[in-house]
Amino acid sequence: MRTKLINNLLALALIGATVGAAAPPAAQSGDFRWSGTVAEGNTVEIRGVNGSVRALASEDGLIHVEATRRAGRSDAESVRIEVVEHDEGVTICAVYPSPPDAARANECRPGGGSINVRDNDVEVDFLVRVPAGVRFAGNTVNGNIEVERLRSDVRAATVNGRVSVQTTGFVSRAATVNGDIELAMPAGLNAEFHASTVNGSIDSDFPIVVTGRF
């Protein structure tokens, strides 16, 4: 039996169901590709702003990242894709031009960084292939996050968009403000999991414990 919750404020969930989506098209395009490795248990982190993040299982033991830049009136090449390798894995970001009056320059930093997007309509869609045992962290602001058939732990967060996660690993976080959350994990998994949405629903084939108002 499927449980569906329509949310007005906040939900904390225990496990869930399936599939996700994509971002709207634009005019110009520019492509970026990167392949590499990190140790098992370390993390590949994607940090976008405008655009979708999609993660699939890698079949060759390598991390593969493709980024497609699209724009209407802005220059797609004005947004650079930056790779930061560090002790805990690799972080790959869409770095937009810093506004002249910005207090801090935009930067790519593991777990954070400064993001200030003004008068720039470039969208960057990420496609990531993740090896088994390598953790995945996907972040964007305006766009969907779709994780399919991974064999590793997952964190996923957006502000305006849907979050969809399908993995055999542990999901430590799935969050959105405006959008639905759909989750699929193995039957019999014994783990506490936190999912939150402000304006959206949480779909699950598993029992859900809810805190907050509906």
Q: What distances in angstroms separate CA 198 from CA 17, 124, 160, 179, one per listed residue? A: 19, 25, 10, 8
At 161-194, the pLDDT tens digits run: 999 999 999 888 999 999 999 988 776 666 556 6
81 with 32: CB under 8 angstroms? yes
Q: Residue 100, Cα to own-chain centre: how many angstroms?
A: 29
CA 36/CA 56 separation, integer angstroms: 15
Kind and range of the H or E run holding 154:
strand 154-157
Express each pLDDT in 126-143 by its tens digit. Answer: 999 999 999 999 999 999
Neighbour count for residue 172 (Cβ, 10 Å):
15
Residue ranges of the domains in the chain? 3-204
CB 68 within 8 A of CB 125: yes
Q: How confident is the model at residue 108 (pLDDT cuts 50, 70, 90)?
A: very high
| Cβ–Cβ under 8 Å, residues 136 and 172 | no
Q: Per the confidence metrics, is the pTM higher than 0.85?
A: no
